[in-house]
Amino acid sequence: MSMKGSHWYQKNLIANQYDAKRFSKGGVLIDTQEKQIITNFIDSIDGKKILDLACGTARFSLLLADLGADVVALDISKPMLAIGKTKAQNSTSSDNMTFLRGSAGDLPFADSSFDIVLAMRFFHLTTVPMYFFLEMLRVSREKIIFDTFNKYSVRSFYNWALPMNSILHSKSHISQLLSCMDVTIEESHQDFIFPYGFYRNLPLSLSKPIRNIDSSVVSTSFGQSISSVSYWSISL
Ligand SMILES: C[S@@+](CC[C@H](N)C(=O)[O-])C[C@H]1O[C@@H](n2cnc3c(N)ncnc32)[C@H](O)[C@@H]1O
104 lines ligand 1 (CB under 6 A): yes
Measured between alpha carbons, how far is 167 from 52 in angstroms, rounded to an integer?
A: 21
CB atoms within 10 A of CB 31: 17
129 lines ligand 1 (CB under 6 A): no
**Confidence (pLDDT) at 2:** 60
CA distances, 116 to each of 47, 52, 71, 90, 110 (Å): 11, 9, 10, 25, 14
Measured between alpha carbons, how far is 186 from 137 in angstroms, rounded to an integer?
A: 15
pLDDT tens sequence across 195-212? 888 899 999 999 999 999
- Say whether pLDDT at 1 is over 70: no
121 lines ligand 1 (CB under 6 A): yes
**Confidence (pLDDT) at 10:** 86
Q: Ligand 1: which atom is nearest the Cα of residue 80?
A: 27
Say how many Å lie between the CA of residue 121 and the centre of ligand 1: 7
Type of residue numbered 138 = R
Work out the percent of the chain whose per-residue pLDDT is above 90.
81
Q: Taking CA 219 as the corner, what is the angle to CA 216 and CA 222, rounded to the nearest 5 degrees?
A: 105
Structural domains of the chain ordered from first start: 8-235 (3.40.50.150)
| CA nearest to 61, candidates 76, 49, 79 | 49
Per the CB < 8 A criterion, the answer to whether 193 and 226 are in contact is: yes
Measured between alpha carbons, how far is 65 from 94 in angstroms, rounded to an integer?
A: 8
**Confidence (pLDDT) at 12:** 87
Look up residue 167 and give its DSSP letter.
P
| CA nearest to 120, candidates 35, 202, 22 | 35
Q: Across all residues in the chain, what is the average pLDDT?
A: 94
58 lines ligand 1 (CB under 6 A): no
| CA nearest to 64, candidates 38, 101, 82, 37 | 38
**Confidence (pLDDT) at 84:** 97
